[in-house]
Amino acid sequence: MTTDTNQIAGTASSTRVATGLFALVLGAFFVWGAGFAHSAALHDTAHDVRHAFGFPCH
Amino acid sequence: MLVRYLLAALAAGLFVGVLMTPIHYLKLVPLIEHAEVYEQGGHGIAPTHEHQASLVSSAYAHGLSNHQAGRVILVHGPAAAGGEEEGDASLFESRALGTLTANLVTGAGFALMLGAVALLTGHRITLRTGALWGLAGFAAISLAPALGLPPELPAMPVADLSTRQIWWIMTVVMTAAGLYCLVLRRQPVVRAGGALLLVVPHLFAAPHPADLSSPIPPTLAAEFAVASLATGALFWVLLGLSLGAAMDRYVGAEA
């Protein structure tokens, strides 16, 4: 699997689901950090982006 | 190759994050900065007085001194409480650098999530379908929550933050699930359920404050809401297209 260029459908579906879930959680973690975390440092850094995306802010 | 799939999604997200930063600076950050003038100087002043002022640069004439040291409520609680520099706890000295970083992280995050949804539902994002995936993301993550909680400027009256965040997340999740059932499934019952899911979040009123009086001129707020949605649409279409292009290029051609 690591050396062969498998197509997505060719890989075992359990691996596919695991990768999908991993990507979903990692992506949600990123978005949470940039858009939702209550930390003052993160809020102030991402302030303009939070407003720009319409995330609830303040 | 699933590692390549993740890397391709990441690259597409970072690319769009870089691309969005100047666009934010062109259209949105000036409005936010304008609102902050009202936030720092104008809160608690009779609205009529504020509205007399011309909308654009003359607002800067309304400095702190102008306002008989009126009741100043700094909405940025932690920031205003005094961080390292100018009461700003930002990780970076420069506001632009913070915006760029946040755009990179947000772009990467949404790209990974959109890629994950495609992977989990067994679909491929290609350059041809990318814009549609992007528009679905826009509908779920920008448009639907904006119906209840329009994009807000600093100093606008708002309800409790956590309540709004919960409503926002609930709306996004239900809209995304609804779109999936409606668009990607065939069974009529599932599709009807999907349509229902799109409507349900809006039956629960989004949290709003009791007092709607605001130091921000309504025109400014309206301009920002529209600009935010338009920029959001652009972000999502670009993200979908970039994801499609990255998948076409770095991951096998066939799903």
Residue of A nearest to B158 (CA): A58
Task: Name residues whose C-beta falls within 8 Å of residue B123's C-beta, 6 or more positions apart in sequence.
Answer: B184, B255
Predicted confidence band of residue A9 (pLDDT cuts 50, 70, 90): low
B57-115 pLDDT, tens digit per residue, is: 333 434 433 333 344 444 444 443 333 344 678 888 888 999 999 999 999 999 999 99
- Residue B175 is assigned to a structural domain of this protein: no
The verdict on a CB contact (< 8 Å) between B101 and A8 is no
DSSP string, B65-99: GGGTT-----S-HHHHTT-SBTTB--SSS-HHHHH
Q: What is the pLDDT of residues A29-49, one digit of tens each?
A: 999 999 999 999 999 999 999
Domain assignment of residue B164, yes or no: no
Q: If you average pLDDT over every residue of chain B, what do you get?
A: 84
pLDDT over 60 at B30, yes or no: yes
Q: How many CA atoms lie within 13 A of A48 on its CB side?
A: 28
Residue A3: DSSP 8-state = S
pLDDT surpassing 50 at residue B195: yes
pLDDT digits (tens, 9 = 90+) for B114-152: 999 999 999 999 999 999 999 999 999 999 999 999 999
* The token pair that represents B255 in the structure block: 């799903």
Domain ranges within chain A, ordered by starting residue: 25-58
Supply the range of the domain harboring residue B124.
Answer: 2-158+209-250
Residues of chain A found within 8 Å of residue B232, distances taken between Cβ atoms:
52-54
| A24/chain B closest Cα distance in angstroms | 5
Report yes or no for ipTM above 0.90. Answer: no
Chain B's closest residue to A30, CA to CA, is B109
Give me B202's structure tokens: 């809006």
Residue B86 is classified by DSSP as T
Name the β-bridge partners of B88. Answer: B85
Q: Could you tell me if residue B108 is inside a domain?
A: yes
- 3-state DSSP call for residue B61? helix
Find the largest Cα–Cα distance for chain A.
49
Classify residue B134 by its DSSP letter.
H
Quote the number of domains for chain B. Answer: 1
The answer to whether residue B176 is domain-embedded is: no
Count other Cβ atoms within 10 Å, centred on residue B206: 20
